[in-house]
């Protein structure tokens, strides 16, 4: 992977104090020489703590901007002079959003449209949305709002007239991210019960470094309108618990509102316009036809009839050894392992 991709660029990350944003800022500053990296978020305390960690080493290249993606005028001010936007800001807690639906709509849908409008108005060259497997055949409001966000990003390429390019990366659970079952298990001791919603539950799992690699790969080749999906392993919740907390008490609490037993990253319908490019899949939009898409059709492989990418049937399985290796090195905010290109 080229280590010059972000050199001399001004990069802004919405939701930049979150798990991904925090890690990606460190990744960019460690491996590239950007002109400036701007963290946009509405949490002043997290920004303060993040600045304490990154300053004074990166003080000349790192800026913090308090703002909310619900506020278009604030975004237009923030996007002035920006080359690249990574749109990571979202409300993500599935159960909470089932009971607070309008908040999810205001941030994940209207906020995303504000990001699009501000980017086009300010002439931002590349804008990448971070999406989720929960948007695929969604049964919860979070997934439905992220599906809308994907549709908005794809359609925006028709309005930008090639001056701004909008693409998407879609992936599953990030190992060790805030609130994940892995973080919860590692934070407890042998006397802390492990809560499990359903014994058959499976999820896609990837590490922060895989997220960064996906973003870099997408940023390098994106034309606008594509959805990039990584090839990652799956693992059942019970397998995680048996590996990381074999002797701890297990408490089954039942499936939470809006929660699936298994997740899907590519549906059978999407598979008909998806190409296997080696390290990841590229889903082409049905609503756009851009000549540059031929590079995927010429170099990628089509998927077999009836193909779906589901966490239950996924042939890639995260091994016990890989899971233990990850947890032994677990320090998602500071470990050099995650910030080496």
Give the mean pLDDT of 314-340. Answer: 70
- At 140, the pLDDT band (50, 70, 90 cuts) reads very high
Q: What is the pLDDT of residue 208?
A: 86
Digit-coded pLDDT (tens) for 90-104: 999 999 999 999 999
Quick check: is 1 in a domain? no
Calculate what percentage of the chain has a pLDDT beyond 90: 76
Q: What local confidence, expressed as pLDDT, does residue 334 receive?
A: 46
Has residue 243 been placed in a domain? yes
Q: Are 167 and 228 in contact (CB under 8 A)?
A: yes
Query: Stretch 310-337: mean pLDDT, rounded?
Result: 76
Q: Residue 4's pLDDT is what?
A: 80
Q: Quick check: is 32 in a domain?
A: yes
Residues in CB range of 17: below 8 A, 6 or more apart: 39, 41, 43, 46, 47, 50
Q: Tell me the CATH number at 26.
A: 3.40.50.720
- State whether residue 90 is helix, strand or coil: coil
In DSSP terms, which residues pair with 38 in a beta bridge? 12, 63
The answer to whether residue 5 sits within a structural domain is no
Provide the 3-class DSSP secondary structure of residue 206.
strand
Q: What is the pLDDT of residues 27-53, one digit of tens each?
A: 999 999 999 999 999 999 999 999 999
The answer to whether 83 and 126 are in contact (CB under 8 A) is yes
Which residues in 122-132 are b (16+ Cβ under 10 Å) and which e? bebebbbbbbb
What confidence category does residue 329 fall into, taking pLDDT thresholds of 50, 70 and 90? low
- Asked, for residue 183, whether it belongs to a domain, the answer is yes
Look at residue 338 in the predicted model and tell me its pLDDT. Answer: 44
pLDDT at position 187: 76
Predicted structure pTM score: 0.93
Higher per-residue confidence, 333 vs 128:
128
pLDDT of residue 106: 98
Q: What is the pLDDT of residues 16-26, one digit of tens each?
A: 999 899 999 99
Task: Give the count of beta carbons closer than 10 Å to the beta carbon of residue 252.
Answer: 11
Range from 179-183, 226-230, 251-255 that averages highest in pLDDT: 226-230
Which element (helix H / strand E) includes 297? helix 294-299
Residue at 130 is within a domain: yes
Question: Strand runs (DSSP E) across 104-157, as ranges?
Answer: 126-132
What are the residues whose beta carbons fall under 8 Å from the beta carbon of 333, sequence distance 6 or more? 22, 23, 26, 53
Q: Please give the tally of structural domains in the chain.
A: 1
Mean pLDDT on 223-248: 93
Cβ–Cβ contacts within 10 Å for residue 304, how many? 7
Residue with tokens 């998806």: 274
* Residue 2 is assigned to a structural domain of this protein: no
Active site residue ranges: 134
- Domain span at residue 321 reads 10-339
Name which of 256, 269, 263 is nearest 134 in CA terms. Answer: 263
Report the candidate in 193, 295, 273 with the shortest Cα–Cα distance to residue 229.
273
Output the pLDDT for position 184.
79
């Amino acid at each position: 992977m080229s280590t010059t991709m972000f050199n001399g660029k001004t990069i802004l990350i919405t939701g930049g104090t979150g798990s991904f944003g925090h890690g990606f800022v460190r990744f960019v500053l460690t491996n590239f020489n950007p002109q400036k990296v701007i963290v946009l978020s509405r949490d002043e305390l997290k920004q303060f703590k993040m600045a304490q960690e990154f300053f004074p080493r990166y003080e000349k290249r790192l800026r913090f901007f308090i703002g909310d993606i619900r506020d278009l005028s604030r975004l237009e001010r923030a996007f002035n002079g920006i080359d690249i936007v990574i749109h990571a800001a979202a409300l993500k807690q599935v159960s909470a959003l089932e009971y607070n639906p309008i908040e999810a709509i205001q941030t994940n849908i209207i906020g995303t449209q504000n990001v699009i409008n501000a980017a086009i108005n300010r002439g931002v060259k590349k804008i990448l949305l971070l999406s989720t497997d929960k948007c695929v055949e969604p049964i919860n409001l979070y997934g439905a709002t992220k599906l809308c966000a994907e549709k908005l990003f794809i359609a925006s390429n028709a309005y930008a007239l090639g001056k701004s390019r909008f693409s998407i990366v879609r992936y599953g659970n990030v190992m060790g991210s805030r609130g994940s079952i892995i973080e919860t298990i590692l934070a407890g001791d042998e006397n802390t019960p492990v809560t499990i919603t359903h014994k058959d539950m499976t999820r896609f799992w990837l590490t922060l470094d895989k997220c960064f690699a996906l973003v870099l790969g997408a940023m390098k080749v994106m034309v606008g309108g594509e959805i990039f999906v990584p090839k990652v392993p799956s693992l059942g919740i019970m397998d995680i618990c048996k590996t990381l907390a074999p002797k701890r008490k297990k408490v089954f609490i039942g499936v939470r509102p809006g929660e699936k037993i298994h997740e899907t990253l590519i549906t059978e319908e999407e598979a008909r316009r998806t190409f296997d490019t080696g390290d990841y899949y590229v889903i082409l939009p049905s609503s756009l036809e851009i000549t540059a898409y031929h590079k995927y059709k010429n170099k990628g492989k089509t998927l077999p009839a009836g193909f779906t990418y589901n966490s239950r049937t996924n042939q890639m399985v995260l091994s016990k050894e890989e899971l233990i290796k990850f947890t032994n090195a677990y320090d998602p905010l500071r470990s050099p392992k995650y910030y080496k290109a």
